[in-house]
Amino acid sequence: MGRKLFSWTTSGLICLSFTTSAQEIPTIETAGADSFTGVQLSQPGPWGDLEYFPIALEPPDQYVTASGHLEAKLVWHFPNKTLTEIIDLLATTGLQESDINLFTGPGHLIRTGDQISLQPPLDVVEGLSPEVRSKIYEILRQWEQNEFYAKPFPVFSSGFDLMVHESGMSPGSIDVFKKLSYRWGSAPSFSDLPILLSHAQNDHERWRIAKTVMRSEGLVVRLKLSSQSDLESIMTYWSSPTRRKNLKVFAEPLTQMPGVNTLDIVHLLPPTPRKLLYTYASPLMGIGSTFPDCFWTAFNFFAFEPSNRYLDTTSHRTFLTDEKWERATLPPRFGDVIIVTDGETGEPMHACNFIADDIVFTKNGRSLLRPFVFMKLENVLKNYLKSRRSEVFFYRLKSEDTETVE
Amino acid sequence: MIRSAAALPLPVLSFTMSTASFRRLSLLLLASALGGSTDLFPTMLQGQESAVPNAPIFKNLKPGPWGDLESYPVFLQAPEAALKLLPSPSQQTVWRFFGTTRDEVSALFQKFFPDPDLYREATVRSVWYLTPEEVRVHPTDRMVLALPPLARLELMQTLGKYEENPFHYNPLVIEGQDVRAWFAGTGLSEPVLAAIEATSFPFRNGRILTEVSYALSKVDDEIEEANFLRAMTRNRSLFLRLRLTSHDTLAPLLDYWSQNIRLKETQPIMESIIRTPGVERLDLTHILPPTARKYLYTFPTTAEGINGIFPNSLWTSLNFFEFSPKVRYNSPDKAAEQLQSHFERVLPPFRYGDVITLVEPTTGKLLHSCIFIADNVVYSKNNSSMLTPWVLQTDADMMTHLTRITEFQVVGWRHTST
């Protein structure tokens, strides 16, 4: 079991501050040793004894096709930069002068109006040292036009081997995938889909590469029950605060059977997260081009029908100060909203819901390619603790707003 | 539109439920219809002796293309918030006959009570109210107790045509023959249990109680009355788990369970189960589509009636694969339109996601529908009541709940995008 990010033993309002280094660890370590360790156990708590194991989720085929990533080309955008400025920028990364000349030379430099972009040769980029690539990517990600660098594909925190297991990729492609993966902050990441796709031996593998890179990790979490379980206490934890569903009826039979049995906690979730768990948002859930994100997901946790008011991105601060939510006191409870803010600006960066121990319910980003999942909080935070200082707050639905939902 | 048997050119399975044993008759009709096949509907209608609440046990479903499924029963009861909306019934039994005369009711009683003394009690000593619209009878306790099972069935069919007889219209269903096992742990006293045993009657896979007022008259106090009302909403549902052990057997399972348009891919989840040491089973809930998963094992909330209509079986079936449920499927006409335009008729063996409809034989009117899951298990909501949950249950248990459906034809439908 991994190191606990938080300890819930202190008291008072919950606000946790983190200071992170902007330095990147160039490559991911060889993963795999922890990928197939089977079922792991949570810390016991009022939630009972939980066990969990990682799963890999793939977006539906039509989403992969619609993403356009299958045809992605390696293009580096430098908005509003002159050629001289671009050359100077590349020179700061340790890129050799010959490569700079190659990248900015005929056939690789593209002018669109007064904008310049580069299409460097795939094999040359693949051959760059991790340190150089890391520095180049740090430059590229400041512009959102460089989608794969600004928002790289997350590589599984729970292990690279898990991510590529039964993926249909050739061993050679898997090696390239692993070699080009890197850490952004502490988050294992991948940006070089066009290079990886060029290694596909055929169209099928090309398809499998795209689907694999777009995989997301999640956890299956199950409650362990036996005749010794204190069912009343455990169900009290999972029933709060807005539930009218009699959760005990699901668990009780398992306590009457021989041995230890498990109940998937999907049955203990309120209706909306139960519906969404392990799924990808439907385009029909959006308003215009705005689709459900972490805030929509977190604030709708207890709602029977999700409110699209939470699609209004300008209102995140409002949600935290409106009449429905209040700052939570320790210990955290089932469904509490966890808010990650930029310590400098106070701007909310991410939200998710506390489930139990260090497990949360989350949707990491607005993209339709990111599913609703259970994750360990520390793995979620790896993707958001990238600013110099971050803070984590807990919010709880006020008791007067806890109308029954199911 | 499904309008008549003539409009149903594919073979359909016909059933008639008279006062004879539904199960026996169904099997006879079935054998005729299918040449003795033992596919789904023979399984569906031959029924199974019910497991009892105190004996939870994993039970294997019949092997099939769905793989190795195991189940255990869970017993759902309506939440307190819903029970608070339920008015306490009177302890006085009332039988309300509409569109009939005193003489016709007397003739019915003569059939029900061949004993002259009882007949006299029914026609002379019990209280009758006569209006142009109805004949209202307050039977004595002796009459209520003396009704033979076939008379109870006939009385249910007669009175159950009218919502004014709430417990003949929507009777209490006991899924199984053992009354005491069914009500185990509900806090009902011996006199109440004895009253239920005495006045309930066998029906399909279980027992039916229409004389709720009589049983209620035996409660000791308000606490037991609350327990009684709570127990009335008891439903048996099934938890299902799919056993996954080998990649070698995965392809046919994926073919079976990956129906229709899905917002998640089943394969990686199944592979994760196979890959993980110490894990062999996947809760079937994860395979169900989002809307079905959201509603499974729950009772409707008042919010679901916000459009003026609570979800019924048609809503449940036609929204099974819909991410956002459509209210219009509550309407039999709209549901039939949807079936005709987006589904094709199929015969057994059915497969996951097929809509199984029960239609009125002469008019083709949709009476009920459910979703085929595997073996003899369906996903269903048996009526639009707030006290009726969405369940996975055996088709035999489902049929026990459909007390107002007597003659029907079975028509299977498969989405054309499948």
Choose the most confident range, by mean pLDDT, from A3-12, A375-384, B112-121. B112-121
Q: What pLDDT is recorded for position B263?
A: 54
pLDDT at A321: 65
Task: Pick the residue from chain B with its C-alpha nearest to A255.
Answer: B56
Q: Determine the pLDDT at residue B261.
A: 53
Q: Closest-CA residue in chain B for A246?
A: B79
For residue B44, pLDDT over 50 is answered with: no
| pLDDT at A128 (0 to 100) | 95
B21 to chain A, closest Cα gap in Å: 32
Contact assignment for B72 to A275 by CB distance below 8 Å:
no
The verdict on a CB contact (< 8 Å) between B268 and A59 is: no
CB-count exposure of residue A14 (10 Å: 0-12, 13-18, 19+):
buried
Query: pLDDT tens digit string along A41-55?
Result: 999 999 999 999 999
Domains contained in chain B, CATH given: 5-56+289-415 (3.90.1720), 83-233 (no CATH)
User: Two tokens at A361?
Assistant: 């319910």
| Token pair listed for A280 | 């990808």
Query: Of A41, A52, A53, which to mutate for an interface test with B (greatest number of B Cβ within 10 Å)?
Result: A53
Query: What is the average pLDDT value for chain B, to the nearest integer?
Result: 84
Distance CA B70, CA B412 (A): 25
pLDDT over 90 for what percent of chain A? 55
Q: Are A268 and A249 in contact (CB under 8 A)?
A: no
Contacts with B, A 114-173, CB within 8 Å: 162, 165-166
pLDDT tens digits, one per residue of A115-162: 999 999 999 999 999 999 999 999 999 999 999 999 999 999 888 888
Q: Do B74 and A59 touch (CB under 8 A)?
A: no
Distance from CA of A29 to the nearest CA of B (A): 22
Q: Considering only CB atoms, which chain B residues are within 8 Å of A305?
A: 303
pLDDT of residue B276: 84
**Strand-pair partners of B408:** B15
Q: Tell me, yes or no, if A275 comes closer than 8 A to chain B by beta carbon.
A: yes
How far apart are the CA of A396 and the nearest CA of chain B, in angstroms?
A: 23
Query: pLDDT grade, residue A91 (50/70/90)?
Result: very high
* Interval A150-178 mean pLDDT: 92
DSSP letter at A168?
-
Band of pLDDT at residue B13, cut at 50, 70 and 90: low
Residues of A with Cβ-Cβ distance to B324 under 8 angstroms: 282, 284
pLDDT score recorded for residue B43:
34
With the C-alpha atoms ordered A49, A54, A60, A66, is the resulting torsion angle positive or negative? positive
- Give B-chain residues touching A37 at CB under 8 angstroms: 277
Q: Looking at the partner chain, which of A244, A275, A284 has a beta carbon nearest the beta carbon of B81?
A: A244
Do residue A60 and residue B267 have CB atoms under 8 angstroms apart?
no
Could you give the CA distance from residue B277 to residue B286 in angstroms, rounded to a whole number? 19
Q: If pLDDT is split at 50, 70 and 90, which confidence band does A244 have? A: low
The pLDDT score that the predictor gives to residue B116 is 95
Among the listed ranges A85-89, B6-10, B195-199, B307-311, which one has the minimum average pLDDT value? B6-10
Q: Compute the mean pLDDT over every residue in chain A, rounded to the nearest whole number.
A: 85
pLDDT bucket at B256, cuts 50 / 70 / 90: very high
For B187-204, what is the mean pLDDT?
Answer: 96
Residue A305 Cα to chain centre, angstroms: 24
pLDDT value at residue A9: 39
Predicted pLDDT at A322: 65
Asked if A59 lies within 8 A of B265 by C-beta distance, the reply is yes
Tens digits of residue pLDDT in B383-416: 999 889 999 999 999 999 999 888 899 999 999 8
In the block, which residue shows the tokens 């121990």? A357
Residue percentage of chain B with pLDDT more than 90:
64
Contacts of B387 in chain A (CB under 8 A): none
- What would the mean pLDDT of B134-157 be, rounded to a whole number? 96
Q: Does A215 touch chain B (CB under 8 A)?
A: yes
Chain A residue with minimal CA distance to B301? A406
Section A311-320 average pLDDT: 66
Residue B169's nearest CA partner among B414, B411, B401 is: B401
Cβ B265–A60 below 8 Å, yes or no?
A: yes
* pLDDT over 50 (residue A1): no
Region A170-178 average pLDDT: 96
Give every CB contact of residue B303 below 8 A, 6+ residues apart in sequence. A304, A305
HSE (side-chain half, CA atoms, 13 Å) at B15: 28
Helix boundaries (H) for B246-307 = 250-257, 266-275, 290-295
The pLDDT assigned to A330 comes to 83
Cβ of residue A227 closer than 8 Å to a chain B Cβ: no
Name the percent of chain A lying above pLDDT 70: 83
Give chain A's length: 406
Q: How confident is the model at residue B31 (pLDDT cuts 50, 70, 90)?
A: very low
